[in-house]
Structure 1
């Protein structure tokens, strides 16, 4: 692959990202989050099992799970606008070295991710009726810039989530999935995995996959 082909491929990738993260493709993105979450739990699935129902909530149904998907991003970050700006930048590039951008890898603890999720749980408290929360599985897609390492121990005290009213509360971060809380009515596969971080590739305990 020569320089032009390399740059052209990057343009194509960014064009796909702009398309994928546009508001009209919101349902596709939500299904992707659920599929990634389930795959990290190493539960076999067929794509047709992951459905965007006509009525929202929930955003996505997988078997007996009813997921409401929420994204956690850096404050003031606008992802779709980021991709559009980067696409315009890359379209003007002639040297592949100009594709490089500053990268400052960050480490987060599981406690910090829990606190981010818990803050969002509290912000959603009045937005959903009690009956809806009791039948819904809240899933956070944690999408924070340059976070490459996760310190998984010690496991945080997640007891506050038991009183939030949701049937279950989980997160996806790269190739890591975790169910912080699941009540007795939650789907069996969530109750089975609650209380630990699950890895798409077991044995890679520190790196957060892209």
Structure 2
């Protein structure tokens, strides 16, 4: 593969990323996050095993699981804008050298700090759903960490997510490019979540957006 072929491949990948991040494919993104969690937990599944709820929340149904999905991003970062800009950059490039740019190495952060990143979204969701009389105890939260400027120190200790447990969610799982972890699962949560409670799973291949 020569440079021009590789440049076309990079452009095609950016086009696919933009399509994947469109509003029309919101549920497909949410399903992908759930599939990533199941892969980490070594739970077998077929695409047709996932269904879309007639009314949100939840976002994705899988057996007894009622997954509610959200993305954790760097402050001020928008994936749609980021990939739209990247697609334009790749389309306008005439050589691979034009695409080279220096990126600061991500800062390693402890698990405690990553858990804090979940706070704003979980507090907002909890308040919104409670005002709508939606039972938080029927929702299995899955947060996908897609941080660019920070990366989880996989050797750090995960503190008890007491604050989020008190909000009343049925379960809370965290997925990242290279890891998955069930942070807590209530007694009535699906077995596959309770059986993997507190265990960090490292992926062989990292995937990020």
Q: Same fold (TM over 0.5)?
A: yes
2:61 counterpart residue number: 61
1:31 counterpart residue number: 31
2:165 counterpart residue number: 162
Give me the whole-angstrom Cα distance separating, in 2, the residues matched to 1:175 and 1:5.
29
Query: Which consecutive residues of structure 1, in runs of 5 or more, have no partner in the other structure?
Result: none
1:198 partnered with 2:204 = no
Task: Assess if the C-alpha contact under 8 Å between 1:68 and 1:136 holds in 2.
Answer: yes
2:178 counterpart residue number: 175
Q: How does 1:65-144 map to 2 (within 5 A)?
A: 65-106=65-106, 107-129=108-130, 131-144=134-147
Give me the whole-angstrom Cα distance separating, in 1, the residues matched to 2:120 and 2:186.
20
4+ residue runs over 3 A deviation: 146-149
1:19 partnered with 2:19 = yes
Calculate the TM-score normalised by the size of structure 2: 0.90
Q: How many angstroms does 1:131 deviate by?
A: 4.5
Task: Assess if the C-alpha contact under 8 Å between 1:103 and 1:146 holds in 2.
Answer: no
Among 145, 151, 156, the residue aligned to 2:154: 151
Task: Assess if the C-alpha contact under 8 Å between 1:161 and 1:181 holds in 2.
Answer: no
Calculate the TM-score normalised by the size of structure 1: 0.90
Task: Assess if the C-alpha contact under 8 Å between 2:126 and 2:136 holds in 1.
Answer: no
Between the two proteins, the alignment pairs up a number of residues equal to: 205
1:161-185 deviation line (CA, Å, top 9, x unaligned):
2211100011110131111111111
